[in-house]
Structure 1
Amino acid sequence: MRAVTWHGRRDVRTETVDDPVIVKDQDVLVRVTSTAICGSDLHLYELLTPFMTSGDILGHEGMGVVEEVGSAVSSVRPGDRVVVPFNVACGHCDMCHAGLQSQCEVTQVSAFGTGAALLGYSKLYGSLAGAQAEFVRVPRAEYGLMKVGTDLPDERYLFLSDILPTAWQAVRYAGATAGSSVAVLGLGPVGQLTARVAVHLGARVYGVDPVAERRAMATRHGVTTFPGAEDARGPMRFDTGGRGPDAVIDAVGMEAHGSPVASAMQRAVEMLPTQAQERAMTSAGVDRTAALRAAVDLVSRGGTVSLAGVYAGMASPMPLMEMFDKQLTVRMGQCNVRRWTQDLMPLVEDPSDPLGLTDLVTHRLSLTRASEAYRVFQGKEEGCVKVVLDPSA
């Protein structure tokens, strides 16, 4: 089959690899009809290279049609149309019962002390082959796979795999309600959906992003936008009686612009031998925390900072004095995809498309053009907000 494989920093290729096969009785093989590039894929493309192996198959946002099922799978059968969650969870352990599927006790990657295994996301999370391919093997599929209808296009369902529940969780963690105020830092794919979810719930929503096309997209969905945090501070405080928004959601994460020292340290790590890079990342790695610091600065006293962007630094500095003084609540974590399925499916299937899911994808390319797609997405070129790859083209 054809698949998108990793070969080094900013080096991804579409290659012919072996087809996946059923390995365990709860496995399912899915023929992928649509697969997306996620913002967190760019961390593998640029920063988390010490944990990658040449030839790793990328991608954790996918959907398609069931081809083959393991002997213990009865929830789906060949021919069913399904969405593939990015995290692999058993559905039965205490963490899964608590709605923390990203911390599943059965699939945790003990070798690195990390949470539940993830599709296509390095040895830190289980070294599973990803969904940017013609076929993908889905472990623990009896619980994980989401069977969906056949009448709506893929783009209405695809984002249930990751970015839509990630956005929903971020807004829920932020405590957004009708009449509250929420700022979203970063208007990439997760930020766009985060802002729309908050608007849908009745909040007054501000968005911050330096890219004009991303601001324009958010504005279409009822978001007041600004190019930078400095531009936003005065107007947001004026609108909120001098306090600042009730919640700020950081949808940027560890590669934020405006963090020159951390950026230089990350480049220095890249120059080390591979094993030394891994040791440095797991003991002294730092993130670019400009977005996090902006969130702490902008949010109201007594407010909430919700982190949807991925952070991975073990030694990243935090403005703890300010956080303590402002008495902030901070919530974060990998999305618990299956926790939110029942909340989101009615919105996804609503004929009115209340979250504007048909207005997110800016680039649709063949799987064979993955290298170009990664470059354009990372560079924010051509007004790129969200890329979907078609394995059949």
Structure 2
Amino acid sequence: MKAVAWHGKRDVRVDTVPDPRIEEPADAVVRITSTGICGSDLHLYEVLGPFMEEGDILGHEPMGVVEDVGSGVDSIKQGDRVVVPFNISCGHCYMCSNGLQSQCETTQVREQGKGAALFGYTKLYGRVPGGQAEYLRVFQAQYGPIKVPEGPPDERFVYLSDVVPTAWQAVEYAAVPDGGSVVVFGLGPIGQMCCRIARHRGAGRVIGVDLVSERLALAARYGASTLDMREHADIPAVARDMTDGRGADSVIDAVGMEAHGAPVGKLAQQFVGVLPKPVAAKLAERAGIDRLSVLYQAIDTVRRGGTISLSGVYGGMVDPLPMMELFDKQIQLRMGQANVRRWIDDVLPLVQRDDDPLGVEDLATHRLPLAEAPDAYRMFQHKRDGAIKVLLQP
């Protein structure tokens, strides 16, 4: 089959690799019909290379049609249309039973000290082949895959793999009061969906922050007030002016480790990137730092007693945080990988509605053949051609 494989920093290729097959009773094989490129994939493309091996298959936002199932799988069958969550969870352990599927005790990558295994996401999370491919071997298929109806286009459902539940959890963790205010930093796919979900769930004012014109325009189209970082030197001050002078009730950081405006963190990441891989991996694990400019702005933007929700991926081990300010302002801070399965009962009915309240059919800006993945990665990283969300179609 054809699959998108990592070959080095900013080097992904479409390789021919062996077809996956059933190896365990709880396996399924899914023929992929649509698969997204995520902002998290760009971290692998750029700064997380020390944790990748040449030939690793990328991608964690797939959907398709079931080709085969193992003897232990009875929740789906051949021919079913399914979405595959990015985290691999069993559904019956303590963590899954408590809605923490991203910490599944059955698939935890204990040798790396990490939570549940993820599709297509470094050795830190199990080095499981991902879904930017023609076929995907799905582990724990007795629980993970989400069966969806025939008929509507893939765009209605593919974001159930990551984007919609991640944004739903981000808004849930942000604890936006009914009629309250929320600032969303970063208007990529997750940030866009955070804005829409916050409004859907009753936020009175949603403010989106970015520096890409197309992203700002899309968020505004769905009712968000927008702030262009290129025009405002002090975003927290402007946000306070927009929220009765006290700051936003809630802030969502949908950017993460590669934020703009953090030159020290950027240099540190670039330095690690040129070291020999074993040395770079050890250094990143023990002394890695992130670009924290957005997180610092989030802390400055949120009101006293407010909540910050982190959905952007961070990977630093020695990140400096302003603990005095966090403590003094009595800020609540919540974060973590999305527990996809926990939120499906909330979000599946919304994406099925004829009126498409979350605008899932209006998120993808590019739909490209799998063969064009290398160009798609470059376009997405450099934010060219108005790229906000890219779907690959094998």
- Give TM-score scaled by structure 1 length: 0.98
Q: Does the 8 Å CA contact 2:182/2:250 hold for their aligned counterparts?
A: yes
Deviations 1:1-33 (A, max 9, x none): 000000000000011110001111000000000
Q: Does the 8 Å CA contact 2:236/2:297 hold for their aligned counterparts?
A: no
Matched, 1:331 2:352: no
Per the TM alignment, residue 187 of structure 1 is displaced from its structure 2 partner at its CA by 0.1
Aligned 1:349-388 pairs, distance under 5 A: 349-388=352-391
Matched, 1:257 2:223: no
Partner of 1:175: 175
Q: Does the 8 Å CA contact 1:83/1:160 hold for their aligned counterparts?
A: yes
Partner of 2:244: 241
Q: Match for 2:260: what amino acid?
A: H
Per the TM alignment, residue 39 of structure 1 is displaced from its structure 2 partner at its CA by 0.4
Partner of 1:36: 36
Q: Does the 8 Å CA contact 1:177/1:201 hold for their aligned counterparts?
A: no
Distance in 2 of aligned mates of 1:71 and 1:237: 58
Q: Does the 8 Å CA contact 1:50/1:277 hold for their aligned counterparts?
A: yes
Matched, 1:55 2:55: yes
Q: Match for 1:80: what amino acid?
A: D
Partner of 2:4: 4
Partner of 1:205: 206
Distance in 2 of aligned mates of 1:36 and 1:235: 34
Partner of 1:96: 96
Distance in 1 of aligned mates of 2:120 and 2:238: 41
Partner of 1:226: 227
- How many positions carry a matched residue from both structures? 391
Distance in 2 of aligned mates of 1:157 and 1:62: 10
Look up the SS of the partner of 1:116 in the other structure: coil
- Give TM-score scaled by structure 2 length: 0.98
Q: Does the 8 Å CA contact 2:176/2:250 hold for their aligned counterparts?
A: yes
Look up the SS of the partner of 2:19 in the other structure: coil
Deviations 1:170-215 (A, max 9, x none): 0000012430100000000000001110011121100000001000
Distance in 1 of aligned mates of 2:242 and 2:316: 35
**RMSD between aligned alpha carbons?**
0.9
Look up the SS of the partner of 2:15 in the other structure: strand
Q: Match for 2:359: what amino acid?
A: G
Match of 1:273 among 272, 276, 288: 276
Gaps of 5+ in 1: none
Distance in 2 of aligned mates of 1:278 and 1:233: 35
Partner of 1:295: 298
Look up the SS of the partner of 1:318 in the other structure: coil
More divergent stretch after superposition (41-50 vs 173-182): 173-182
Q: Match for 1:13: what amino acid?
A: R
Per the TM alignment, residue 317 of structure 1 is displaced from its structure 2 partner at its CA by 1.0
Look up the SS of the partner of 1:358 in the other structure: helix
Distance in 2 of aligned mates of 1:29 and 1:246: 45
Partner of 1:125: 125
Partner of 1:17: 17
Look up the SS of the partner of 1:31 in the other structure: strand
